[in-house]
Structure 1
Amino acid sequence: MLLRNNKLVEKSSHGTFRVPWLTLFFAGMVIGIYALGKNAFNIFVFDRSAIANGEFWRVFTGHIVHYNFDHLFWDVLAFIILGAVVELNDRRQLGPSFLISSLGVSFWLYYYEPMIVTYCGLSGALNGLLVTASMILWNKTESRMYLFVMLSTIGKICYEFSTNQTVFVTMSSQPVPVSHLVGFISGLICFFLLRKKFNVIE
């Protein structure tokens, strides 16, 4: 800690190696749940009828289970990258961003997509986390590259809507591109709410 203007401030950790422990812990938990097999999947998956019968935990846990290894691999890889960016630049935004994006997707699917009976995977929430990571880095560096990343993500979502196919992942079930769009919008809303509350971007 340093004394500056009669206030204690944290010394810069620039140049030191930091580990995104929260991100790695959560990624490990997701992998562990997948390793538990079908029984764990059935307990945690977003299931419309089960939620209607009071199993409300599924609106969140549905995002941490996966249909197959390919689905798991790409989701966890993206989460580690995006989660690390957010955690190492502003840890306070990691949990709220992921939680709000997850619940935003579940809320939309439950109330506005009645044909979707089951849903699982991190990808919807990851689109929200991508917004948070991109906006944090853009505000810090003023590099237009991060705005390009967000525009590219919008393009990817449009592609998924037009082709009804996902990018990267081979799915054994019907893809749900609307979850990516809702996650993206939720992440954008969450970032600006947190920015105003925490005043983390100068």
Structure 2
Amino acid sequence: MLLKNNKLVEKSSHGTLKVPWLTLCLAVMFICIYALGENIFNLLVFDRAAIANGDFWRFFTGHMVHYNFDHLLWDLIAFVILGSVIELNHPQQLMLSLLISSIGVSFWLYYFEPIILTYCGLSGALNGLLVIASMMLWNKTESCIYLFVMLSTIGKICYEFTTNQTVFVSMSAHPMPSSHLVGFISGLICFFLLRKKVNMIE
């Protein structure tokens, strides 16, 4: 199925279909990590004590693991959509966007929320990807719907802060609206840095 402006699969200038292979490969990797079970979860999860002992990879890999299948499913749906938008518009920027958003969230949690001992999931980083994807599409189409998406996301984050409950996902773990806010801000910073880089190249 092809959509006019926002599509998971699109035609290139040569008429062939463009597929967001990196996004799909990463999605499969997240599924495989979840399927490998508790040992891999414990090795990759953001764990304050382990990071203090030198496991710095957890700043990034903590976002690859999930508490339960529901947590994984909702993150995967959002990641495939947002990752595809970014990859099909600017293929080289997907990994950089994911890296900056993920590490931005982990940095905040580690240095400014010492009460948080463990954290996992893509939701914080996904708020960053949502900003980047929405701004890319808004620049391309000038459609106000993408600005509405961003405003709705801000509203969702405010709701989570107010009620201390997550939207969509039901988990026994304590919700982390601050990670969503930091991810959102990281996405804004990342977008303007990438935009400046593209303008300098042009």
> Structure 1-normalised TM-score?
0.91
CA RMSD of aligned residues (A): 1.7
Tell me the secondary structure at the aligned position of residue 18 of structure 2: coil
174-183 or 91-100: which moved more? 91-100
State the match for 1:125 in structure 2: 125
Question: In structure 1, how many angstroms separate the alpha carbons of the residues matched to 2:93 and 2:142?
Answer: 19
Matched residue count:
192
Question: In structure 1, how many angstroms separate the alpha carbons of the residues matched to 2:197 and 2:117?
Answer: 36
User: Which protein shows a greater Rg?
Assistant: 1
Deviation, 1:96, is 1.1
- Relative to 1, partners in 2 of residues 1:33 and 1:148: Cα closer, same or farther, differing over 3 Å? same
Structure 2 portions without partners, runs of 5+ = 1-11
State the identity as a percent.
Answer: 77
Question: In structure 2, how many angstroms separate the alpha carbons of the residues matched to 1:161 and 1:181?
Answer: 10
Tell me the secondary structure at the aligned position of residue 155 of structure 2: helix
Question: In structure 1, how many angstroms separate the alpha carbons of the residues matched to 2:199 and 2:15?
Answer: 25
Question: In structure 1, how many angstroms separate the alpha carbons of the residues matched to 2:192 and 2:39?
Answer: 39
The amino acid of 2:134's aligned partner reads: S
Could you list the per-position Cα deviations for residues 125-181 of structure 1 after superposition, in whole angstroms to 9, with x for gaps in the alignment?
A: 000000010000000000000000000000000000001111110112101010000
State the match for 1:91 in structure 2: 91
- Map 1:183-198; keep pairs closer than 5 Å: 183-198=183-198
2:99 matched to 1:103?
no
Question: In structure 2, how many angstroms separate the alpha carbons of the residues matched to 1:162 and 1:189?
Answer: 25
State the match for 1:75 in structure 2: 75
Deviation, 1:17, is 2.3
Deviation, 1:95, is 1.1
Deviation, 1:15, is 5.7
The amino acid of 1:67's aligned partner reads: Y
State the match for 1:172 in structure 2: 172
Question: In structure 1, how many angstroms separate the alpha carbons of the residues matched to 2:18 and 2:120?
Answer: 31
2:138 matched to 1:138?
yes
- Relative to 1, partners in 2 of residues 1:129 and 1:14: Cα closer, same or farther, differing over 3 Å? farther
Deviation, 1:14, is 7.6
Tell me the secondary structure at the aligned position of residue 199 of structure 1: helix
- Relative to 1, partners in 2 of residues 1:167 and 1:41: Cα closer, same or farther, differing over 3 Å? same
Deviation, 1:92, is 2.0
Deviation, 1:112, is 0.3
> Structure 2-normalised TM-score?
0.91
State the match for 1:8 in structure 2: none
State the match for 1:4 in structure 2: none
- Relative to 1, partners in 2 of residues 1:195 and 1:70: Cα closer, same or farther, differing over 3 Å? same
Question: In structure 1, how many angstroms separate the alpha carbons of the residues matched to 2:198 and 2:51?
Answer: 34
2:181 matched to 1:151?
no
The amino acid of 1:91's aligned partner reads: P
State the match for 1:116 in structure 2: 116
The amino acid of 1:102's aligned partner reads: S
2:72 matched to 1:52?
no
